[in-house]
Amino acid sequence: MKTLCWIRRDLRLHDNHALSQALKFGDTVVAFVFDQNILDKLKNKSDKRVTFIYESLLELDKELQKKGSSLVVRYGTPDEEIPEICKEFKINKVFTNKDYEPYAKKRDELVTKKLKTIGVEFESFKDSVFFEKQEVLTGSGAVYKVFTPYKNKWLEKFEAQDKVIPEFKCDLKKLHHFSNKQNIQEVDWYPLIGFKKDSSPLSGGTSQAFKLLENFEKHMSRYKEERDFPAVPGTSNLSVHIRFGTISLRDMIRAAISKKSEGASTWLSELIWRDFYQMILDTHPYIEKESFKREYDQIKWLGSDEHFQAWCEGRTGFPIVDAAMRCLNETGMMHNRLRMIVASFMCKILLIDWRKGEKYFAEKLLDFDLAANNGGWQWSSSSGCDAQPYFRIFNPYTQSEKFDAQGEFIKKWVPELANASSKEIHRPDGLLFSHYPRPIVSYEANRVRCLEMYSVIKKA
Ligand SMILES: Cc1cc2nc3c(=O)[nH]c(=O)nc-3n(C[C@H](O)[C@H](O)[C@H](O)COP(=O)(O)OP(=O)(O)OC[C@H]3O[C@@H](n4cnc5c(N)ncnc54)[C@H](O)[C@@H]3O)c2cc1C
């Protein structure tokens, strides 16, 4: 039997469920398709995520070559390319890991159908989440819609397994040996896929993921105290790696449970949030376009395109918001506290539909993940499954004072305020700092407008 392991958002050769299963049969080819359906939609042809993927594939191919094999890379639509690869290598069965996004589910259905016509089997495995939708259910067998009871049940199930997290061993000796003329080390794929290389603040590849994890382990115990302060390197920065699977979720959970500290438990909770949002997207795919709580789609958003543009470009006159947006535009990264501040600000102070901000984040974030991004936006706009109540409106000034007290983060991204004191920086005086934009709206007035705008929910 000859097998194909089709990697997508699991760009690694260790602890990979599909790969471990494929290798049990042996003679395994590993392939990646630069998916035209996804790439063609990316407006920025120097997208940092493409560079991240490319770097990860280069590292992966080097490892495969050490074992006498090589990564098969193609550009096109998977429903055409995967059957082609199968024909070329006389594959009997394709192994892959599950992806719960609506597009991915449709893609896999189509690929399965096409493979059937040429007599090739297709099987997918749980890998990117710890528990799937049917594994964590309420007493009456329903899926949870609120995080805390979900988390408690998740932990209960986890403890019942004696907290043992077996690794999916990948015996690379069983790879198919061949020489690859289209080798990714030799063929420059960037022009072929219509992209240019761009530097990314985080390099791709499993080795980089483990460096980050190792570094984070040194301060994981302080995570609870440090994770909310953007000027402090208190979080792991692993989101892009878990998004593309250069590290496994199990690697991260193993690291969390090996450390017995409050910080480690808090970090584990964040990984459970990730599972929660994946499960919510899997079971409620309509949230990709609509509010989880459907009555929130009755809101008539009052905000303007002009204000949206100012928000995107980091010139709202609210320093913490502008610093966060400028950081995102430049690096593709944004701290979690800042994501909450700018999302809440856009929906509840600029009165703009959450879908616009969600789309902007999807274009810019290095770690963009549909489930987590949608979850974060719907939490911030209050339309989500376990969201903050609609009348809770973050005050950007007090958030700034609390989480960037000295203005260290703001000063890094808003040079116009370099000379502001720690008192002035959160709400600068327009006369003293005339080169910095005046606030485009009044926080106090728009807070009131927001409550009026959201009042349709009470009526619904
Ligand atoms: C509006 C908004 C949009 C967001 N968009 C995304 C996104 O597109 N992709 C993304 O991975 N996260 C998103 N998040 C969640 C969170 O901001 C990031 O996961 C986190 O900032 C990544 O940094 P880190 O790796 O240092 O996280 P750490 O604090 O080290 O957390 C470890 C891991 O847990 C997961 N995680 C942490 N917080 C959350 C959360 N709230 N929801 C789901 N998973 C979480 C991530 O995989 C993260 O890498 C969003 C949050 C908000 C409020």
Domain extents for the chain?
Answer: 3-126, 129-167+206-283, 294-459
Catalytically active residues are: 270, 273, 301, 336, 354, 377
User: Whose alpha carbon is nearest atom 11 of ligand 1?
Assistant: 239
User: Whose alpha carbon is nearest atom 44 of ligand 1?
Assistant: 274
Distances (CA, A) of 235 to 130, 194, 218, 369, 380: 21, 34, 11, 18, 21
243-254 burial, b at 16+ Cβ within 10 Å, e below that, comes to bbbbbbbbbbbb
pLDDT at 430: 85
DSSP codes joined into one string, 345-378: HHHHTS---HHHHHHHHHHH-TT--HHHHHHHHH
pLDDT at 162: 75
Pocket residues: Cβ below 6 A from ligand 1: 227, 235-239, 242-243, 270-271, 273-274, 277, 336, 339-340, 343, 361, 365, 367-369, 372-373, 375-377, 380
Amino acid (1-letter code) at residue 126 = K
Q: Which residue in 165, 9, 162, 27 sits closest to 90, CA to CA? A: 27
Determine the CATH number of domain 129-167+206-283.
Answer: 1.25.40.80
Please give the Cα distance from 312 to 329 (Å, whole number): 8
Q: For 294-459, give the CATH class.
A: mainly alpha
Half-sphere exposure (Cβ direction) of 286: Cα atoms closer than 13 Å: 9
Q: For 3-126, give the CATH class.
A: alpha beta
Global confidence as pTM? 0.97
| pLDDT tens by residue, the chain, 460 residues | 999 999 999 999 999 999 999 999 999 999 999 999 999 999 999 999 999 999 999 999 999 999 999 999 999 999 999 999 999 999 999 999 999 999 999 999 999 999 999 999 999 999 999 999 999 999 999 999 999 999 999 999 999 987 779 899 999 999 999 999 889 999 999 999 999 999 888 999 999 999 999 999 999 999 999 999 999 999 999 999 999 999 999 999 999 999 989 999 999 999 999 999 999 999 999 999 999 999 999 999 999 999 999 999 999 999 999 999 999 999 999 999 999 999 999 999 999 999 999 999 999 999 999 999 999 999 999 999 998 899 999 999 999 999 999 999 999 999 999 999 999 999 998 888 999 999 999 999 999 999 999 999 987 7
User: Whose alpha carbon is nearest atom 19 of ligand 1?
Assistant: 239
